[in-house]
Structure formats: C-alpha cells, structure tokens
Amino acid sequence: MKFDNRLIWIIVASVGLYGVFLFFSDFNQISQQISIFKYEFLPLILALVSISWIPLLVRWQFLLKKNKINIPTKNSFLIFLGGISMAITPGHVGELIKSQLIKNNYNIPRTKTAPIIFIEKFYDLTGAIIASIIGIIILEMDTNLIIFSILVLSVIIFLIFYKPIFEFLLKRISKTKLFSKYSDNIVESYEIIRNSTTTKTASISFGLSILYWIIISIAVYFILLSFGIESVSLLRTISIYSSSVIIGALSFIPGGIGVTEGSLIGLFSLEGIEISMAIFLSVMIRIFTMWYSVCIGFICLKFTGGLSKIK
C-alpha cells in the first residue's frame, strides 16, 4: 500500500505552516487559552462536524439516483466519506477517487460519475456563497463582499450552463494527465451535468448545501465559545467561515491551506479579536472542521479499498 508523496508533502507543509502561524503568535496567551478550553464543548463540536456530513451524503445519493446510478446506500456513503480525505488536494480534485472506486466496485463508467463530483463542488461553492451573502446582508457588512460573491457565482453558472464554453473547457481539461480518464465522452458528461441541475434538483441540492454550511458554521461558533470568544454572533460566524472557505477554494491551493486560515485571521481581527488569538483560533477551526474530516475519510477509504489507489 503506497501513498502519493504529494499527499505526504501537503500534510508536512500544513504542519509546518501551522507551526509558523503559532510561532508568530503570543505563546503565553495560547497556553492560557488552551488551559481554559471548555472540554465539555468537545463532544458537541465533533458531533456537529459529523452531522454536517449528513446533508452532503443525502445530496450525493440523490444525485446518483437522479442519474440512475444505483449503489447500496452503505457502500455509497463509505465511498463519499472516503472522498472527503481528498479535501487536502487543490480544489478538492482528489475527490475524483470516488469515481474510480465506483468503477472498480460496480463497473460504472467514470464518465457517468465524474460529472456528478464536479456538480457537487458547484453546489458546495454556491451554497457557501449564498450562506455568506445572507450573513452579509443581515449584518450589513461590506457590500463589496456581496458584489464579489455574486460575480463568482455568475461566472460559475455561466461556465456550466453555456454548452460551448463547457465543452471547450472539458476538452482542455481532458488533455491533462489527471483528468484524461474522466472525460472520455463529453456529450454524456454534459447531459449528466444538465440532468443534475434541473430546477427541482438544483433547489433540493442548494437547500442541502446551505444546510451543511449552517451546521458546520454552528460547529465553528461553538469552537469560539469553547475558548471564551462570545463577541462574534452565529450569523457573523456563518458569514466569516463560509467567506474564508470560498477564498481558500478559489486560490486552488491544496485544501486552501494558508489562504483560508489567513482569511479567518483577517476577518476575526476585524471583529476585535487580538491577532495572536485570531491566529490560534484559525488553526483550531481548521483542525476540527477539515483535518478531523480528512482523518475520518482515510478510515473510510480503508474499508472501500481506496487507499491502494493512492499511488
């Protein structure tokens, strides 16, 4: 069983980056905050992060059935959770391992499942944008953030629904080594994407995506409370966290590492949190919301045989 050296380097680089973050923060304050951590919040935080996967699991199974791809629910969920382990890859493209696992176990062509994985990312990003916009409007935050979010959303929708552009991009992508095996039939891929974005399907998928962002943001809110930070409201937490993840995703840096944390630090500091504390909180939030999920994902990959595919 061999692991891709790139994944190992991403993990090593992440640990190093977090070490640098903490090095430039106030060690005395960090030690104090760790000592006052309210451990009674820990089960609740982990439970909320785990519960946040449920809307995504339901959406995954819904999109599969919408495209007449029938996989036993238990195995389907294990494959989905295994894909979460690839959240540390640039733009989450490593989640295409789900497509390979389905092909290996059920002989379903990758051209039928890879488009669904791309659509998942579309719903993830748009769900985050919508959640962020709602928070920005309610809290009367900087309108430039709304404009930026709407522009990003408009570009994404245009790229997906304007067929000539979509086919051009897919042809370009299919020439790369990483994506060539997933884009054999452009017409079929496009039809699956259109079938996964009908009005009814999109409404349900958007709703599930927004529910995910709300639940995971509630987990972040309790992380703040566990360290005695009560000055940031739940609505602000939703807006701050979703906006930071969007920025991290658009950077296309593996897992948005460094960019997402930097965005959290900046937005928390605007909320009056001391910079050293903001640095510490950003690291803790990412450990709970991303790295915990990645660890669970690798465990699920073990049960699906997916670890042998990471070479």
Which of 17, 9, 22, 21 shows the shortest CA–CA distance to 88?
A: 9
Q: Taking 70 as the threshold, does the pLDDT of residue 169 lie above it?
A: no
pLDDT per position as a tens digit, 61-79: 999 999 999 999 999 999 9
Q: Taking 70 as the threshold, does the pLDDT of residue 181 lie above it?
A: no
**Is residue 148 packed enough to be buried (19+ CB in 10 Å), middle (13-18) or exposed (0-12)?**
middle
* Mean pLDDT taken over the chain: 80
For the chain, domain boundaries: 5-309
How many other CB atoms are found less than 10 A from the CB of residue 85? Answer: 25
Residue range 251-275: mean pLDDT, rounded: 83
pLDDT score at 21: 59
Sequence-separated contacts (24+) of 64-67 with Cβ below 8 Å = 64/113, 64/116, 66/195, 66/196, 66/201, 67/112, 67/116, 67/192, 67/195, 67/196
Are 228 and 76 spatial neighbours (Cβ–Cβ below 8 Å)? no
- List the single range of 2-6, 33-37, 83-87, 96-100 with lowest mean pLDDT: 2-6
pLDDT per position as a tens digit, 20-52: 655 556 666 666 767 778 889 999 999 999 999
